[in-house]
Structure 1
Amino acid sequence: MDKIINHAVLSLDFWQDTVTYEGCAMPTGTIGCEVLNISAEAIETLTPPCDTMNRLLQGMNTGTVDLTLLPQVQGAASGILSFMDVTRPFSRLSNSDFGKKLADVFSAAYLEDARDYLQLSQQEQLLCTLTGQHSRAAQLIRMTQVLGHLSYSLRQYKDALLPFARQLNEPGHDRTAEGYAALFGQFFQEEPTLSDGNPSWMTLTNASVQYVSAIRPGAAEPQLVKRMHYVSFVGMFRSDLFEGLCVGHAPRQCPICGRWFLTTDARRTKYCGGLAPGDKRRRTCRQIGNLRGRAQRELAADHPIKAVYNRRMNTILQSTRRGKLDAELAKVMKKLAKDKMLRAISDHSYASTRYEQEMTQEALLAEAKRRMAL
């Protein structure tokens, strides 16, 4: 039976806290999280080719196949494939095989078979399903449905699940499986309906479950995995996202690049590991974030480097008030202290060796006198 009808590109293998898709094992929730990064503009580029697919589908729903649509449908399939080639998680597909299959499915031979199939009675069509006759027609109808609904269903996914992800991303939220479950219950608290403004229908997934013994990528021995077969890409994506929540995996938005990434434990991972946008040194967001965090810590009033500086400024001020230092000498000492503090912030070696020695009252006083004597 055909690979697409077998749902090979619409199947996930779940085992413990990992999911396998198209021969690649990853933390559960990865592909569902990746969909959050597809921009509205990118989804909009799918609208014209999906509309073309839907015109073909509308004819099929009335029992006819317009063969004159073939060139337009082939162009639409090519446009959708181009989108998939450069867009995660679709780019995880074995696109060479998938592209070849699309070229085969959207061809004159398949459209002609679908035309003949749709002329049969419902009873005859059911018999064909059981016997495998008109398999080309079944493949064409199936793939037209999957691709025709893609842009609309991606918009629905983003509209419903981005607000949920943003609540998960709020500071102080309990990033554990229990915390995710609590928020899930609050966000999806209504009975699932198809009405606008009720995202709870997203919790329903049209899928079949199969338990199989499979050798996972990188493993030598088979494991018993839960294989789920879906009828659409978006149904598969949200199932993966929710399965991830069950094991403590959740999306988080990187404050540097704005992209969503998956966290797999309760640690406060703040930055993603992707390249920071606009950084000429090609550093990751995590590297940039660590530098920012260090700078913020070093500028904090209670940072050890700043604390040494603050103590010294207080003693200089007190000595000036008591008449032990004249104003000019105190001014030079303050300038020296500030310069040393700034140097310590940028020079770890200096901060860990000579900084505190040079910041004593006696050392600053002696250096200030030497400066004034020049």
Structure 2
Amino acid sequence: MPIGERQTNNMLHLSLDVWRDQVFFHSRAYPAGYFANGIMNAPLDEVNALLDQSNRIAAMTRQLHEAQREELSDLLPEAKRAVSALLDGLRRYPPYCLMSRADENEVLDVIFSDASVNDISKQDSPVREFFFRYLAAAVMIPWGIYNFLCGAWFLELNYLRRLKKRDETHFAVAAHDCFSSESFQKEMRELTHSGYEPFTVMPSLRSSYVFARSPQNKKAMVFVNRVLFDHIIDFYIYDLMNGLHCGHAPSKCLGCGKFFLTTNAHTPKYCDGVSPQNSKYTCRQYGALIRQKEQNENHPVYALFKTRTNTIRKHLERKKISPALRAAAITMAETYRDKALFDNAYAAAGYALDMELANLYAEAERRLE
């Protein structure tokens, strides 16, 4: 079977298949550290909304514990809505965005149905035990996310971001220094409800081996470590540590401010997502463009661009061209400039020709038609 098949992933349990520097979730491969990095982009206001939902479910759980059979029928619909709203919120983030909501809805429909009332009301019923385990998971998951984020953000900001080299050795030293520091321990102790799903460098997990087809050779079989988790914070912490072990780590993009996963020893400052400053470029491309502009004002590409745009502005001042033509010509010049900066062949052969005033004006007029 392929790696990642027949996993158990739901509100109560999560699993990862680990092979080399990859993890597999529902048969799909991701670089180690992918899930920890992904949740680090959760906005704090959205996480706080999940915590509010957790508190509502916790209050309902206390009521349900004390409710008699007659009261349960009235309380179950409201509790179901609260859990369903929590699931909607969780589906914005990995791994929940990769799980079947239909399967989870089936669980909700069964355990919150009128048919379950009798069993839930019996103190020694397995259905009652499962019901309250499910509610406990719903309460704890937002706190697991919150506590993990506080620990992971602290590590990235105060230790990983300062590294000159990003490999296993440097990550190991950074993680050791961070997690053993008094400032980190103090930060974790001061978290609200720190007793819920506390951050720990020793996540609780169970591990076994499964046998699967090699992703590199379908005729070969490989040993795959299947790791199982009962708590979401253990899932994220394991993925973070496994990523660091493989030389993968989160890094905050200087362009868009989102975390992205580095998978080599380089120290990139920008991700490959769309730049918020200019959607024509990725953050990496835009960062390179700005850096080159700042460092190379005398670069031949910029020199020609500056000469042509100065002439275009003078033509406007002398009323030789219209404001619309001036704006269109400047836009074309910027397009050719950026293309030349990213394409050496074009810079050497076609850039100067396209930047001739006659050609700029002709193309600008064509686009204004």
Task: With the length of structure 2 as denominator, give the TM-score of the two structures.
Answer: 0.69
The partner residue of 1:95 within 97, 101, 107 is: 101
Contact 2:10 2:99 in 1 (8 A): no
Task: Give me the whole-angstrom Cα distance separating, in 1, the residues matched to 2:207 and 2:350.
Answer: 66
Q: List runs of 5+ in structure 2 lacking aligned partners.
A: 1-6, 304-332, 352-369
Find the counterpart in structure 2 of residue 147 from structure 1.
138
State the alpha-carbon separation in 2 of the partners of residues 77 and 287 from structure 1: 42
- Counterpart CA distance in 1 for 2:339 and 2:259 is 34
Count of residue pairs the alignment pairs up: 303
- Distance of aligned partners of 1:81 and 1:6 in 2 relative to their CA distance in 1, 3 Å threshold: closer
Partner of 1:241: 240
Pair 1:84 & 2:90 matched: yes
Alignment of 1:22 onto 2:53? no
RMSD after superposition: 3.8
The 8 Å contact of residues 193 and 201 in structure 1, kept in 2 or not, is answered as no
Q: CA deviation at 1:41?
A: 0.6
**1:100-115 map, 5 Å:** 100-115=106-121
Q: Is the 8 A contact 1:9 1:22 kept in 2?
A: no
**Which amino acid in 1 is paired with 2:140?**
H
Q: Distance in 1 between matches of 2:215 and 2:350?
A: 53
Q: Which residue of 1 aligns with 2:270?
A: 271
| Residues 74 and 306 of structure 1, relative CA distance in 2, 3 Å threshold | closer
Provide the identity percentage.
24
Q: Which residue of the partner structure matches residue 186 of structure 1?
A: 177
User: Counterpart of 1:206 in 2: which secondary structure?
Assistant: coil
Correspondence 1:34 to 2:38: yes
Displacement of 1:229 in angstroms is 1.3
CA contact (8 A) 1:298 1:345 kept: no
- Cα distance, 1:21 vs structure 2: 1.6
Instruction: Compute the TM-score of the two structures, normalised by the length of structure 1.
Output: 0.68
Structure 1 residues 139 and 347: alpha-carbon distance in aligned structure 2, compared to 1, 3 A threshold: closer
User: Could you say if the C-alpha distance between residues 101 and 294 of structure 1 is closer, same or farther in structure 2, counting changes exceeding 3 Å?
Assistant: farther
Contact 2:34/2:239 (<8 A) preserved? yes
1:209 aligns with 2:215: no
- The amino acid across from 2:282 in the alignment is T
Query: 5 Å matches for 1:1-374?
Result: 9-58=13-62, 67=72, 68-116=74-122, 119-120=123-124, 134-189=125-180, 196=189, 201-215=199-213, 220=218, 221-277=220-276, 279-281=278-280, 283-299=281-297, 348=340, 352=348
Correspondence for 2:322: none
Q: Could you tell me whether the CA contact under 8 Å between 1:257 and 1:277 is conserved in 2?
A: yes
Deviations 1:267-318 (A, max 9, x none): 223222222236454x33233223223323423x7x68899xxxxxxxxxxx
1:64–1:239 distance in 2 versus 1, CA, 3 Å: farther
- Label 1:39 to 1:350 Cα distance change in 2 as closer, same or farther (>3 A): closer
SS at match of 1:214: strand
Q: Is the 8 A contact 2:11 2:138 kept in 1?
A: no
**Secondary structure of the residue that 2:16 maps to in structure 1?**
strand
Name the counterpart of 2:319. Answer: none
